[in-house]
Amino acid sequence: MAKIRLGLIGAGGMANSVHYPSLAEFEDVEMAALCDLDEQKLRATAEKFGIERTYTDYRKMLAEVDPQAVYILMPPHHLFDLALTCLQQKRHLFIEKPPGVTREQTRNLALTAEKNGCLTMVGFNRRFIPLIREVRQRVDEHGPMLQCVATFYKNSIGAGPYYGGAIDILTCDAIHAVDMLRYMGGEPVSVAADVRALHTTYDNSFNALLRFENGCTGVLLTNWVVGKRVHTFEMHAKGISAFVNGDTRAEIYTNNQEAGEVLDSRAVAGSDSTHRFYGFYGENRHFIDCLQENRLPETHFGDAVKTMELVERIYRSQI
């Protein structure tokens, strides 16, 4: 299988800790060039992953390296112009979440990608956690999803707004829980929400009740001023309930069994490495496979628009 030639933009924490380690393991990938404005980070990352060509100007990198696909791993409020340039040059594109600061940015990127025949993907890695995929399959075997829950709690007291206020918490971070509700329940038809600013001047608590097209009920529970980071999911169908923490394990109960079945996140993934058991390897492998097979990735920009729309509905549908 031919190697996919990648241009990489960004030498920050996520790039170094989860995305580039994943790509470095793929035999059908050439990490052809790396671009970053911080020359110290640029050199260190290039040396770490054996990337020979480095740039501080992404347009020059695109022109000289001519990559088939580009990874842009950078803050959301710096993303749009770079992403639009890549799509206008008909380059396939992977970006981290969120896929822009607003739904309108995401929608226009999706339209540009479709117009230019680009395959795109947003890094909603929770969907690709091996443990969650395994649990979802087991629940689906019992019939349609009846109820699902996504929780995301953090203690960010005193931390201030994200990027100094360039983007809100729900769009930037809690969007993981919002997207997982769509992954578990489908598309929402009605939303009732409660959004609050607790001990801050900006919104940091987002809770919602959803009804999906298929009749499934969804619950969102997030709060950024509580005890610590806890990020969990529930999936319920007829005769089965699953309680999942992607970092650690899942407990599955069927037909009134007193003792549930326990699945270990690392055991299911076959690895203790975070980039493997927490879905980053899986999402990157999915993107490369889609490029090889010329098919649209699961979390393409058009799908991401729907998650951004749900974020907007949560704000608009407050009780």
The CA distance from 218 to 209, in Å, is 6
Please give the model's pTM, rounded to 2 decimal places. 0.97
Structural domains in the chain, sorted by start? 4-125 (3.40.50.720), 127-270+301-316 (3.30.360.10)
Q: State residue 93's pLDDT score.
A: 98
- Cβ-in-10-Å burial (0-12, 13-18, 19+) of 124 comes to buried
Report yes or no: 79 and 100 within 8 Å, Cβ to Cβ. yes
Strand partners of residue 188: 212
Strand partners of residue 39: none
Q: State residue 258's pLDDT score.
A: 87
Distance set, CA 241 to CA 128, 157, 184, 259, 260 (Å)? 20, 33, 13, 12, 9
Q: State residue 1's pLDDT score.
A: 74
Work out the end-to-end distance of the chain between its first and last CA atoms, rounded to an integer number of angstroms: 54
- Reading the block at residue 115, the tokens are 């117009």
Q: What is the DSSP string of the chain?
A: -PPEEEEEE--SHHIIIIIHHHHHT-TTEEEEEEE-S-HHHHHHHHHHHT--EEES-HHHHHHHH--SEEEE-S-GGGTHHHHHHHHHTT-EEEEESSSSSSHHHHHHHHHHHHHTT--EEEE-GGGG-HHHHHHHHHHHTTSS--EEEEEEEEE-TT--SGGGGTS-HHHHTTHHHHHHHHHHH--EEEEEEEEE--SSSS--EEEEEEEETTS-EEEEEEESEEEEEEEEEEEEETTEEEEEETTTEEEEEETT-SSPEEEEHHHHHT---HHHHTSHHHHHHHHHHHHHHT---TT-HHHHHHHHHHHHHHHHTB-
pLDDT tens, per residue, the chain with 319 residues: 799 999 999 999 999 999 999 999 999 999 999 999 999 999 999 999 999 999 999 999 999 999 999 999 999 999 999 999 999 999 999 999 999 999 999 999 999 999 999 999 999 999 999 999 999 999 999 999 999 999 999 999 999 999 999 999 999 999 999 999 999 999 999 999 999 999 999 999 999 999 999 999 999 999 999 999 999 999 999 999 999 999 999 999 999 988 899 999 999 999 999 999 999 999 999 999 999 999 999 999 999 999 999 999 999 999 9
Strand partners of residue 243: 234, 251
